[in-house]
Amino acid sequence: MIRRCTSCGRQNRIPAARLSDAGRCGGCRQPIGPVREPLDVTGAEHDEIVGSTRVPVLIDFWAEWCGPCKAAAPEVARAAADMSGRALVLKVDTEREPDLAARYGVRSIPSFVVLKDGTVVTRHVGVVAHDRLEGWLEQAARS
């Protein structure tokens, strides 16, 4: 994955397994913190992240035309920021990645799936508040 340094703008290649870790920019050596925002991923990126990360992963299945998905987006973003370093939040556009949505049996959106070590531990359909999303991730981390 590529992350841009907020200090110098340099693009840094970060291994998927390290997205929840703090690091340093390869150019200016300033700190690059763990991912604090939802990552919009393709199927291949999903597989790489889920297959290598040590932290729980929340997947938000959504589509641009979906009103409830747009309503859920700020809650998902807040959960990603609040859980930075302890979990990762992925967004999967079901219009662009229908095979990935089918792999998880997604039939309605927004749909949320929480994974720990690549195994589904929680599923939910419909808009929820960030504290509930965070609760699922914390519970997954403890399991």
Active-site amino acid positions: 66, 69
Tell me if 13 sits within 8 A of 2, measured CB to CB: yes
- For 29, the token pair is 């050596």
Q: What angle do CA 5, 10, 16 make, to 5 degrees?
A: 65
- For 34, the token pair is 């763990």
